[in-house]
């Protein structure tokens, strides 16, 4: 099949805008796409969501590193008055303390435990009334002051037993969430690319419509001038002149409406790609069509291998399987083991508080044994299993949907090639017919109404041809997005650069798109 092409909008379009010509900026499709990728409001929202997920993952991984904390209580003063029953008297007490706690803790990802080293230091000055008896045996109350230093240094390990590793599961889910966010971002970029391209070509079509309307107005003006001369010479009736006036007015109205539609669409396009509404632009498209040869099975295989929606379904399935783990944990047998070993030193002076230290040990095993839960655990497991089945069905249906979409696009591309051939032939035929009709009109063998019909048929044929070319270009782009393979350039169309940021989060393994 010979190469079919039309050289898009030429610089003659500088005359169609409602604004001054000299201030217009000519915008190509590549420039429009570049602007949209940098300034599109739709992409900016998705980028913010992606950044949120990334920071959540970074925060979770940072939480697995060693933490150092220092809690200080510089001053605490307490004064109390209590009743001493044995002495049957009231007594006063005062306490002045200053303390601090230094903690080094390390979560253990492998076991879901926590290892911590703690040092608690306290200085205390106490003053209290003491009751006793004098040498004569009489009861007496004395005041006593005492200062002491205490330091407790111990190592502690807490380990959950008979349960799943919550730390690993949380980390994996955040990795999935970040990967999912990047897939959403990549899909949105492809969607924006598709929408920008379609809107760009729609503007091109509107500009072609303006050009066609201008040509139609010129032909109507020529027809009007011809009939005016004939009426003045008395060669035709005035009714023909009146009809020519009506046709000329309709052509002027059509041109104005075409320019109005173009101006409105330009505003919408500028907003979509993130440009200022006050930028005066004009799109310039070089539309050509070269038939793309594609084997159906090859296109389907590439789509199933590359489409990111399939990975989203895999993540959905993995997350639903995590719900089974949580359901199993409901009212389940579990245990908690705690081991604490340390030294306690105290004295009335800071120096020497560890001259005679005490060895402190604390071992604890706590078990939780469910007896009867009225079927709650079983019901929750069934809910989780149903979610897994739904995710599996969704995964299977996604593959079928992708296959159907690719097959549909290939059929539509073939249909559009046929439409282009037909539309091209229609333009040639309509052009010849109009030229013949114009000669007949000049010779007085054709009325203004008949010539107007031929003019409208020519305009419709040109617009149909332009539309067929644009539709084919859109379907070629649709095929690239459906398969993530550029068949025109025979190379991958997968957005690898979107996933490069994933490597910036250390410790992530097995990310699917590193290997593409």
356: pLDDT strictly greater than 90: no
Is pLDDT larger for residue 355 or for residue 120?
120
Average pLDDT score over residue span 353-364: 86
For position 513, what pLDDT does the model report? Answer: 47
399-414 confidence digits (pLDDT tens): 999 999 999 999 999 9
At 14, is the pLDDT very low, low, confident or very high (cuts 50, 70, 90)? very low
In this prediction, residue 134 has a pLDDT band, given cuts at 50, 70 and 90, of low
8 Å CB contact between 272 and 195 = yes
Residue 209 — very low, low, confident or very high, per pLDDT cuts 50/70/90?
confident
pLDDT at position 131 over 80: no
Position 289 scores a pLDDT of 78
List the single range of 7-16, 104-113, 251-260 with lowest mean pLDDT.
7-16
Confirm if 220 and 279 have CB atoms less than 8 A apart: no
pLDDT in tens, 153-179: 999 999 999 888 999 999 999 989 998
Pairing of strands 281-283, 25-27: parallel
19-23, 85-89, 269-273, 321-325, range with the lowest pLDDT = 19-23
Of residues 245 and 70, more confidently modeled: 70
Per-residue CA distances from 127 to 11, 91, 95 (Å): 97, 11, 6
Q: Buried (b) or exposed (e) across 285-317, using 16+ Cβ within 10 A? A: bebebebbebeeeebbebbeebbbebbbbbbbb
- 238-248: average pLDDT: 82
pLDDT reading at 428 higher than 60: yes
Higher pLDDT, 10 or 273: 273
- What's residue 15's pLDDT? 38
Q: What pLDDT sits at residue 502?
A: 56
The CATH code of domain 4-57+169-324+377-489 reads: 1.20.1600.10
Identify the pLDDT of residue 341: 93
Domain ranges of the chain: 4-57+169-324+377-489, 69-108+113-163+334-369
Q: State the Cα–Cα distance between residues 516 and 302, nearest whole angstrom.
A: 12
Q: What is residue 505's predicted lDDT score, i.e. its pLDDT? A: 52
Q: How do residues 462-497 score in pLDDT, each as one tens digit?
A: 888 888 888 898 888 889 989 989 888 888 888 877
Percent of the chain predicted with pLDDT > 70: 88
Q: What gap in Å lies between CA 133 and CA 123, rounded to an integer? A: 31
- Whether the Cβ atoms of residue 310 and residue 398 lie closer than 8 Å to each other: yes
Question: Angle between the 448-483 and 296-306 helix axes, to the nearest 10 degrees?
Answer: 60
Measured from the Cβ of residue 99, the count of other Cβ atoms closer than 10 Å reads 16
Mean pLDDT of 51-57: 90
Cα distance between residue 335 and residue 475, in whole Å: 60
Give me the pLDDT at residue 4, please: 36
- State the average pLDDT over residues 214-242: 81
Q: What is the pTM of this model?
A: 0.74
User: 516 falls in which pLDDT band (50, 70, 90)?
Assistant: very low
Residue 70 has pLDDT above 90, yes or no: yes
- Crossing angle of helices 166-232/29-39, nearest 10°? 140
- Cα–Cα distances in Å, from 467 out to 14, 77, 138, 266? 21, 86, 117, 18
Residue 345 has pLDDT above 70, yes or no: yes
Supply the pLDDT for residue 204.
86
Sign of CA dihedral 241, 242, 248, 252: positive
- What value does the mean pLDDT of the chain take? 83
CB atoms within 10 A of CB 150: 16
**Cα distance between residue 105 and residue 440, in whole Å:** 97
Is the pLDDT at 512 greater than 60? The verdict is no
First to last CA, the chain: 35
Residue 84, pLDDT score: 65
Residue 283: the pLDDT is: 83
What is the Cα–Cα distance from 411 to 417, expressed in whole angstroms? 10
Mean pLDDT in residue range 110-133: 84
pLDDT for the residue 243: 83
């Amino acid at each position: 099949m010979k190469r079919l092409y039309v050289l898009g909008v030429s610089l003659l379009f500088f005359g169609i805008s409602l604004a001054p010509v000299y201030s217009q900026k000519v915008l190509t499709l590549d420039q429009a796409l570049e602007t949209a990728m940098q300034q599109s409001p739709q992409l900016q929202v998705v980028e913010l969501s992606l950044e949120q997920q990334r920071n959540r993952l970074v925060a979770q991984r940072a939480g697995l590193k060693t933490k150092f904390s220092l809690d200080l209580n510089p001053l605490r003063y307490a004064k109390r008055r209590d009743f001493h029953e044995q002495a049957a008297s009231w007594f006063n007490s005062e306490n002045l303390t200053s303390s601090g706690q230094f903690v080094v803790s390390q979560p253990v990802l492998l076991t879901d435990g926590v290892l911590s080293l703690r040092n608690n230091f306290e200085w205390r000055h106490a003053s209290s009334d003491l009751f006793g008896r004098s040498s004569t045996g009489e009861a007496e109350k004395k005041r006593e002051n005492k200062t002491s230093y205490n330091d407790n240094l111990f190592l502690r390990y807490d380990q959950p037993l008979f349960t799943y590793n919550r730390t690993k599961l949380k980390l994996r889910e955040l990795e999935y969430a970040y990967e999912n966010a990047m897939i959403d971002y990549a899909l949105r970029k492809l969607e924006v690319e598709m929408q920008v391209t379609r809107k760009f070509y729609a503007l091109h079509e509107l500009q072609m419509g303006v050009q066609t309307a201008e040509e139609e107005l010129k032909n109507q003006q020529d027809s009007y001038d011809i009939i005016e001369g004939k009426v003045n010479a008395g060669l035709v009736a005035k009714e023909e002149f009146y009809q020519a006036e009506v046709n000329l007015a309709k052509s002027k109205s059509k041109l104005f409406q075409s320019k109005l539609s173009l101006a409105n669409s330009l505003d919408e396009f500028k907003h979509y790609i993130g440009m200022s509404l006050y930028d005066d632009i004009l799109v310039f498209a070089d539309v050509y069509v070269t038939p793309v040869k594609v084997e159906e099975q090859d296109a389907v295989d590439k789509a199933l291998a590359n489409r990111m929606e399939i990975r989203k379904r895999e993540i959905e399935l993995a997350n639903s399987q995590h719900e089974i783990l949580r359901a199993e944990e409901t009212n389940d047998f579990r245990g908690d083991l705690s081991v604490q070993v340390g030294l306690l030193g105290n004295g009335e002076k800071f120096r020497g508080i560890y001259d005679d230290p005490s060895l402190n040990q604390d071992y604890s095993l706590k078990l939780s044994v469910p007896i009867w839960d009225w079927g709650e655990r079983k019901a929750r497991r069934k809910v989780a299993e149903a979610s897994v089945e739904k995710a599996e069905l969704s995964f299977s249906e996604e593959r079928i949907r992708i296959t159907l979409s690719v097959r549909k696009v290939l059929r539509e591309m073939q249909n559009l090639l046929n439409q282009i051939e037909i539309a091209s032939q229609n333009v040639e035929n309509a052009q010849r017919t109009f030229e013949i009709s114009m000669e007949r009109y000049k010779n007085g063998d054709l009325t203004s109404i008949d010539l107007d019909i031929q003019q409208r048929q020519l305009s419709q044929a040109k617009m149909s041809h332009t539309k067929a070319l644009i539709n084919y270009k859109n379907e070629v782009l649709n095929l690239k997005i459906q398969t993530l393979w550029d068949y025109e350039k025979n190379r991958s169309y997968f957005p690898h650069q979107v996933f490069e940021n994933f490597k910036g989060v250390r410790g992530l393994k097995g990310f699917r798109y590193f290997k593409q």
